[in-house]
Structure 1
Amino acid sequence: MASNEDTGLPASLATAWGFKPRPSKGPRPTLSLERIVAAAVGVAAAEGIGAVSMGRVAKELGVSPMSLYRYVGAKDELYILMQEAVTPAPPEPLPDGAGWRPGLTRWARAQRAFFHENLWLLRVPVSGPPASPQSVAWMEYGLTTLDGTGLDEGSKLGVIMLVSGYVRNEAMLMSDLDAAHTASGRTPDEAMRRYQRTLAALTDPECHPAVTRVLESGVLNQADEPDADFEFGLGVVLDGVAALIARYTPDRPSSP
């Protein structure tokens, strides 16, 4: 493994990777990186990521904001360490020969699960490619599922970015809709029927024939189950991946 000097990591990420030795002697410090990160996660979980600041975290810990900078160089670094703290290890890999599609399906479902458990994660600004231990472990899992597909390494990266982007977008959409339903006091079915009435009032068959067919089909009579919507979308995305793999390997099946 590379040294801290080789990577150019900030001190906080170097600590996360184990590059920065921790003192074993001397008086016990009143602060630690773990305490700082745990306090920041608590603020984010209770009030949203927008409430997290060095001053707010310092207040939770009963210290001055400047004391945090001995451990964390900036709020962006703190965000990365917060994500690292709540991100679980990737799921156990499937047995050899299980195929790329079941592997990516398991990977996507597991990502969705921890996003829904930590919705504030969806609001953390994306500042760069994966660099923390857990995020790299998830990248490794996703890439490994595509071994044997015939895809080149750049295409493999593109595939896992596509799938993870779908997962993130779906989780954010479901989070926003749930918040809207809670704020309005309506159930998802009530909200959908209200939308159906609004759409029917705003459109007509001549100008909006496709929308009219949707209204007449009855599919807007009630909200779909979120899990069913997710599985439908994931299936369509993976069908596209299968088509990509088939172009690379036209003489053999693209998935089991």
Structure 2
Amino acid sequence: MTEGQDGEWTGLPAGIEAAWGLRERPAKGPKPGLSVDRIVAAAVALAAAEGLGAVSMGRVAKELGVSTMSLYRYVDAKDELYILMQEEVMGPPPEPPAPGTGWREAITAWAAAQRTMFRRHLWVLRVPISGPPATPNSVAWWEQGLAALADTGLGDDDQLSVILLISGFVRNESLLAADIAEAVESSGVGAEEVMRRYATTLKRLAHPERYPSVARVLEAKVMDGPDDPDYAFVFGMERILDGVEVMIEKRRRAGS
């Protein structure tokens, strides 16, 4: 392992240290042209085509036309490969908002950009969370989220809690979209037809006398979904930020 900026051991796998520029990546491998970048690119393409479950060291090696053991010169394990794949598709955060942008607008834009990334790469949501951000792009996203809250007057612990709350909401909302997309794909019919069949089945099972609230919602065709595909995201973000705003005002009054 390599020492960090303060001279301490980072405790990170070799591939992650290389992403930070803390160690040199192998320049040559058993086969000319093999590199971390090629391995990650092949794994990302495989995940995009067949899902994260299709990604293994053996399968990636096959896609690259090399032996499985040759990959271990560049990547220590599949879990490390997952992190590098996530780092690749995550990319850096968007440009920071213009000076004077309000905290609500700034954090909403940050959350929306994160959601867009997830929607483009739904397989990323299947990558196990093994700890806090530890790669350059993930830390850069974390930094930008915290910077959006810098002028709110919240303490560092509250700011971090807000970031975790919003990140969790974005991830959950995107994961729901991923689950629905998988269900639709496996059903062989369109999303509207899937929801129509679900509503029809539920109407047969949920008798109005026993489930009056559910029956009312079904009768109102709420399960058909709103016309705006972003409705749930916007609704959820506004409710979360309403609560954060109340907390900010309480902190300000307590400090005045």
TM value normalised by structure 1: 0.88
* 1:250 equivalent in structure 2: 253
Q: Tell me the CA shift for residue 184 of structure 1.
A: 2.5
> Does the Cα contact within 8 Å between 1:4 and 1:20 map onto a contact in 2?
no
Aligned to 1:59, which of 46, 57, 62? 62
How far residue 186 of structure 1 moved from its aligned partner, in angstroms, is: 3.6
AA paired with 1:81?
Answer: L
Q: Conserved in 1, the CA contact under 8 Å of 2:39 and 2:71?
A: yes
Q: CA RMSD in A?
A: 2.4
Letter in 1 for 2:185: T
Alignment of 1:109-124 (within 5 A): 109-124=112-127
How many residues are treated as equivalent by the alignment?
250
Q: Which secondary structure state, in structure 1, belongs to the residue aligned with residue 132 of structure 2? A: coil
**Range 181-190 or range 93-102, more displaced:** 181-190
Decide which moves more: 162-171 or 182-191.
182-191
Q: Greater CA deviation, 128-137 or 210-219?
A: 210-219
Q: CA deviation at 1:3?
A: 6.5
Decide whether aligned partners of structure 1 residues 52 and 190 sit closer, same or farther in structure 2, where only a CA change above 3 A counts.
closer
Structure 1 gap segments, 5+ residues each? none
Residues 184 and 197 from structure 1, CA distance in 2 versus in 1: closer, same or farther, beyond 3 angstroms? same
Q: For CA contacts below 8 A with separation 6 or more, give which structure has more relative contact order.
A: 1
Matched, 1:190 2:193: yes
Tell me, in whole angstroms, the C-alpha distance in 2 between the residues paired with 1:172 and 1:101: 24
Unaligned runs of 5+ in 2: none
Once the two structures are TM-superposed, the CA of residue 90 in structure 1 deviates from its matched residue by 0.9
Shift in alpha-carbon separation, 1:200–1:95, aligned structure 2, 3 A: same
The aligned residue for residue 223 of structure 1 is 225
Note if contact 1:89-1:137 (Cα within 8 Å) is conserved in structure 2: yes
**1:102: Cα distance to partner?**
0.4
What residue in structure 2 maps to residue 90 of structure 1? 93
Contact 2:27 2:35 in 1 (8 A): no
Q: Please point out which of 15, 35, 40 is paired with 1:37.
A: 40
Q: 2:74 — aligned with what?
A: 71
Q: Which of 148, 152, 169 does residue 155 from structure 2 map onto? A: 152
Q: Structure 2-normalised TM-score?
A: 0.88
What secondary structure is seen at the aligned counterpart in 2 of 1:6? Answer: coil
| Structure 1 CA distance for aligned equivalents of residues 168 and 73 of structure 2 | 34
Superposition deviation, residue 94 in structure 1: 1.4
What's 2:209 paired with? 206
Displacement of 1:29: 4.8
Q: Which runs of 4+ in 1 moved over 6 A?
A: none
User: Is 1:166 the equivalent of 2:169?
Assistant: yes
- Which shifted more, 135-144 or 224-233? 224-233
Question: Which of the numbers 227, 237, 240 marks the counterpart of 2:243?
Answer: 240
Deviations 1:8-67 (A, max 9, x none): 322111110011135789x99542111111111111111111111111111111211111
